[in-house]
Structures are given as structure tokens and as C-alpha cells.
């Protein structure tokens, strides 16, 4: 699965980091999401959970 983040939509809540730290971290400067890997195994439910929990809807999966 392909992961995309929209840093402009991100509000820095950090739910993605708490849910899938292997794929996301927060920028030290502005607190917005930083994508560590843009592809993941289809069976990694943590990424789907992170996208679902994002309050800004800044994470999309394909």
C-alpha cells in the first residue's frame, strides 16, 4: 500500500506517531507529520488505524 501525507492539512495532533511510529514522526520545528516510509505491507493495520485516527484527514492510503 502507498502512503501519502498532506503536511498543509496536518494539525500536529500526533495520533499517527502514537499509532504507527515506524512510518511517521513529528517535525521538531512545526510538529507536523513527517513520513518515514511511503510504502507498507497491505497487512500493516497500524497504518490504516493512523489514517482513520488522523483528525485532519491528512493521511491517505492507496
Calculate ∠ Cα 57-45-20, nearest 5°: 65
What nine digits make up the cell of 32? Answer: 507536523
Q: Is the pLDDT assigned to residue 54 strictly greater than 90?
A: yes
- What does the pLDDT look like over 7-44, one tens digit per residue? 999 999 999 999 999 999 999 999 999 999 988 877 68
E-strand ranges in 6-62 read 24-26, 33-35, 59-61
pLDDT band at 56 (very low <50, low <70, confident <90, very high): very high
- What pLDDT is stored for residue 14 in this prediction? 97
Could you list the residue range(s) of the whole structural domain that residue 14 is in? Answer: 3-61
Strand bridging mode 33-35 / 24-26: antiparallel
- Do 40 and 47 contact (CB within 8 A), yes or no? yes
CATH code of the domain containing 19: 3.30.70.20
- Number of structural domains the chain divides into: 1
Amino acid at each position: 500500500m502507498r502512503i501519502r501525507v498532506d503536511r498543509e492539512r496536518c494539525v500536529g495532533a500526533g495520533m499517527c506517531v502514537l499509532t504507527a511510529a515506524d512510518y511517521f514522526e513529528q517535525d521538531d520545528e512545526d510538529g507536523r507529520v513527517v513520513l518515514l516510509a511511503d510504502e507498507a505491507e497491505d497487512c500493516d493495520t497500524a497504518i490504516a488505524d493512523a489514517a482513520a485516527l488522523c483528525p485532519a484527514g491528512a493521511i491517505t492510503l492507496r
